Amino acid sequence: MKKLILLLSICSYLLSENIIYTKSDIHAFIPEKGQLSTIIELQKTNDQLDILNIKEDEFSSSTNGYDNLGDMDGLKLELRYSIFDNLYLNTKYNKKELEYASSTLINTNIDIYLRYNIYQNNNFAISIDGGYEINKADDLKISDLKTINDTIAKVLPNNDASIEKVSGIYKLNYTKDGTVNRIDLTLNPYLSINDTQDKSLYSRVILSYKFKNLLFDLYSGYKQIKIYTSMDSSIAHEPNTDIQNELNSGSSKASYSTTREDGMIYWGTGIRYHFSQYIAGELNYQYNKILRINCLKEMDENHILNANLLFGITHSTIFYMGGQIMSNQFNGEIPYLYTQYTKTAFDHKYGYANFGFIFKF
């Protein structure tokens, strides 16, 4: 009994005296100089961990035999350090594996920022952030025929082109000048995504109010994003003269590399509240408004909601669990996912569960 009372008193100290030590890192208060904390988090969605049945509603009609379509596994590592009483460093590493038809899209995110505290007293603080973020996709090769044909339909909307397999031979069908053409292919069809990434510079202003059991944050920022996309396909390497003449004419593309720049304005708010001496909760909302080229303007926003419960375990350890839902899958978070050809593959609601530990040193 004495050990239990001691444990609860430690948790009480942890959660009541250190309200800013929560999962969310967007707040204006800065811990004392020398404070160090780390986070390890697992992220997951599948049929068993389907946040609000979003995966079932959004993907069930598109699986076509791929029961894991829309599944995700993620690992997030985070380091937080107060360099001075008014200067704070945060670094994040987040790897996500997204199931996409017959392939897995692997994204690695690295985010580093400095926070400078302009003003702080016992109840109010103002800070500004400046950071750099990168998302990079592992090279991805897609051999699923349906996915390839869906992409061809987007790239060549007026050619009625498709690939089919007849008696073990792949054939390319396309319409030109009203005539249907059929060409035998020598290579097994594939699409590959190579050297695809985005890099961002961002700034953010944060206002925070702290009370006995409550922390409230309000913030707004701007992100400048540069996106690099490269796609190749087996069609680009077919030796057939008719195919190569069509590609050389410039009217059709079987591979391409592009670079574009987006801007993003965003704002958000967060609330952390202590339900008891050793249990706390937080709720965070962010709105992204992306400034894009004309062909993507109809997919230029995202509403993101994140909620977590936190449990004090020891003086230096917190366990949390919760989840995140969004109106447009990773829109503004992984900008390279949205191109004029792939935009409809990701433009839907999405969510995942997260579980993790916060360690304070």
Q: Report the distance separating Cα 312 and Cα 213, nearest Å.
A: 15
Q: Is residue 158 part of a domain?
A: no
The domain in which residue 318 lies consists of 2-137+195-237+254-360
Grade residue 347 by pLDDT with cuts at 50, 70 and 90: low
pLDDT, tens only, 142-196: 887 887 777 777 666 556 778 888 888 888 887 777 777 788 888 888 888 888 8
Residue 97 in tokens: 């594996």
180 within domain boundaries: no
User: Contact, 305 vs 293, CB < 8 A?
Assistant: no
Predicted local confidence at residue 283, as pLDDT: 96
**327-356: average pLDDT:** 75
Q: What confidence score (pLDDT) does residue 235 get?
A: 79
Kindly state whether residue 178 falls inside one of the protein's structural domains: no
**pLDDT above 60: residue 10:** no
Report yes or no on 176 lying in a domain.
no
Confidence of residue 62 (pLDDT cuts 50, 70, 90): very low
**DSSP category for residue 156:** S
What does DSSP assign to residue 7? H
Picking from 50, 293, 254, 265, the residue whose alpha carbon sits closest to that of residue 156 is 254
* 164 residue type, one letter: E
User: Which amino acid makes up residue 239?
Assistant: P
Give the number of domains in the chain.
Answer: 1
Beta strands in the chain (DSSP E): 36-45, 72-84, 87-100, 103-120, 124-137, 140-142, 162-166, 169-176, 179-184, 191-193, 197-210, 214-233, 256-274, 279-291, 301-314, 317-326, 350-360
The tens digit of pLDDT for each residue in 85-119 reads 999 999 999 999 987 666 788 999 999 999 999 99
What is d(CA 48, CA 63) in angstroms, rounded to the nearest whole number?
Answer: 16
**226 in a domain, yes or no?**
yes
Tell me, yes or no, whether 167 lies in a domain. no
**Residue 245 or residue 25, greater confidence:** 25
What is the band of 313 on the pLDDT scale with cuts at 50, 70, 90?
confident
CB 23 within 8 A of CB 320: yes
Measured CA to CA, the distance from residue 278 to residue 284 in angstroms comes to 20
Element housing 4 (H / E): helix 2-17
Task: Between 186 and 310, name the one with better pLDDT.
Answer: 310
Q: What is the pLDDT of residue 43?
A: 94
Query: What is the residue-averaged pLDDT of the chain?
Result: 81
Query: SS3 of 305, please?
Result: strand
Return all residues near 344 (Cβ < 8 A) that are at least 6 apart.
Answer: 154
| 44-53: average pLDDT | 60
> Tens of pLDDT along 262-273?
899 999 999 999
**Which residue from 302, 339, 340, 318 is spatially nearest to 19, judged by alpha carbons?**
318
CA distance 354 to 51: 10
Rounded alpha-carbon distances, angstroms, from residue 98 to 103, 107, 138, 140, 312: 9, 8, 11, 11, 32
Q: What DSSP string describes 234-303?
A: GGGG---HHHHHHHHTTS--S-EEEEEEEEEEEEEEEEEEESSSSEEEEEEEEEEEEE--GGGGGG-EEE
> Containing H/E element for 345?
helix 343-346
What are the φ/ψ torsions at residue 58 (nearest 5 degrees)? -90, -25
Q: What CATH number should be reported for the domain holding residue 12?
A: 2.40.160.40
Name the amino acid, one letter, at 304. Answer: I
Q: What is the pLDDT of residue 55?
A: 46
Residue 256 reports pLDDT greater than 80: no
Domain membership of residue 244 (yes or no) is no
Among 246, 200, 249, 254, CA closest to 227 = 200
Q: Is 123 domain-assigned? A: yes
Q: Which residues lie closer than 8 Å to 353 by C-beta, 6 or more apart?
A: 43, 44, 45, 49, 51, 321, 322, 323
pLDDT, tens only, 202-234:
999 999 999 888 999 999 999 999 999 888 888
Higher-confidence position of 353 and 295: 353
